[in-house]
């Protein structure tokens, strides 16, 4: 978020903003008072992100090689969604690297096109892992007796992974000068977007059908999970925007109307669902939220 703020707060910056743009820019004392704390925050969280990623990736690799815990997780249709948290985190790592890390390291921002091929390889690995785990989860869902009442909106964690991976791929497609790299990234991104939306619709139908047949709302700790649909709308909307940018460059045509649609449609869906969730959960938010015990689904509100 600090990077996005700095990117648009300094309109004189060409391309992705770097630290030198801030240092050499003519800023007032008030602007400096805002900018430099944001830069400090960004530096701290970039270091934390890659530090924790290395630690957790090492632990995940050891855990997966042991197979017992990994296989037990993947064989359970009620818990195998947790594996997609790995994809979500690693997908965001690409965005952190070429944006925030590029802000501090001039070699990254100045050689972004030379890094597109490695980024494509990284994206393909994430895409393959996402599809492999998703098809395995869907196969288990179709071949096992499932009690849909045990599912809730946290069942949609794989959709978040689809959105983040698609956002990474469409970022490559829209930014890459090399046509082959851009085309491969665009094709795989279209596949993941379409697959993600189909799975999202299927799961929403299942969840709402269970909800409509139930005589009460989910447990208190699960209620904030309703807000999970908001980032889906933003991620898929921005991915559609970036795909349109790629097509616009590829065909040399003006697609301003389509760009306008993707941006506004995604925000309309996000805002509309957010308002509906607030109305639906107003009693919980008013009477129970502050006093309730912590539950992971509460992060959906963030």
Q: What is the mean pLDDT of residues 112-140?
A: 93
Pull the structure tokens for residue 215: 């005589």
> Using one digit for the tens of pLDDT, what is the confidence trace for 242-280?
899 899 888 888 887 888 888 888 889 888 988 998 898
Cα–Cα distances in Å, from 13 out to 23, 46, 105?
12, 21, 16
pTM of the model: 0.84
What are 262's two structure tokens? 């993707």
pLDDT per residue as tens digits for the range 153-173: 778 889 999 999 999 999 999
Residues 6+ apart with CB under 8 A from 287: none
46 and 104 Cβ atoms separated by less than 8 Å: yes
Instruction: Give the Cα separation of 92 and 204 in Å (integer).
Output: 25
Per-residue DSSP letters for 127-179?
HHHHHHHHHHHHHHHHHS---GGG--GGGGHHHHHHHHHHHHHHHHHHH-SSH
| Cβ atoms 92, 161 nearer than 8 A | no
Q: What is the mean pLDDT of residues 274-292?
A: 83
Output the average pLDDT for the chain. 84
Residue 87 contacts residue 164 (beta carbons within 8 Å): yes
User: pLDDT tens digits, residue range 66-107?
Assistant: 888 888 888 888 888 888 988 988 998 888 887 777 788 877
Token reading at 79: 């818990």
Q: What is the 3-state composition of the chain as percent helix, strand, coil, each rounded to the nearest 5? A: 80, 0, 20
DSSP character string of 43-61: HHHHHHHHHHHHHHHHHHH
Could you give the CA distance from residue 30 to residue 181 in angstroms, rounded to a whole number? 43
pLDDT tens profile 9-65: 665 556 677 777 777 766 667 777 777 788 888 888 888 888 988 998 888 888 888
């Amino acid at each position: 978020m600090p990077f996005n703020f700095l990117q648009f707060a300094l309109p004189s910056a060409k391309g992705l903003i770097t630290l030198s743009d801030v240092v050499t820019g003519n800023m007032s004392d008030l602007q400096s008072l805002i900018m430099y704390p944001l830069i400090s925050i960004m530096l701290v969280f970039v270091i934390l992100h890659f530090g924790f990623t290395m630690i957790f990736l090492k632990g995940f690799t050891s855990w997966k090689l042991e197979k017992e815990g990994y296989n037990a997780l993947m064989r359970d249709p009620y818990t195998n969604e947790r594996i997609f948290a790995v994809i979500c985190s690693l997908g965001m790592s690409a965005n952190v690297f070429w944006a925030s890390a590029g802000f501090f390291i001039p070699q990254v921002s100045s050689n972004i096109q030379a890094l597109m091929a490695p980024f494509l390889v990284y994206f393909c690995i994430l895409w393959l892992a996402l599809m492999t785990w998703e098809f395995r989860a869907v196969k288990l869902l179709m071949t096992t007796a499932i009690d849909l009442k045990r599912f809730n909106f946290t069942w949609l964690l794989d959709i978040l992974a689809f959105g983040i991976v698609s956002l990474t791929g469409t970022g490559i497609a829209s930014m890459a000068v090399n046509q082959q790299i851009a085309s491969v990234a665009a094709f795989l991104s279209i596949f993941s977007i379409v697959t993600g939306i189909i799975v999202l619709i299927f799961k929403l139908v299942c969840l709402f059908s269970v909800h409509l047949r139930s005589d009460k709302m989910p447990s208190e700790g699960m209620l904030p999970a309703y807000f999970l649909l908001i980032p889906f709308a933003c991620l898929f909307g921005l991915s559609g925007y970036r795909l349109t940018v790629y097509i616009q460059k590829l065909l040399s045509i003006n697609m301003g109307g389509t760009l306008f649609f993707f941006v506004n449609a995604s925000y309309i869906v996000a805002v509309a669902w957010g308002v509906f969730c607030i109305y639906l959960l107003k009693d919980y938010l008013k009477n129970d939220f502050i006093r309730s015990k912590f539950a992971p689904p509460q992060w959906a509100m963030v």
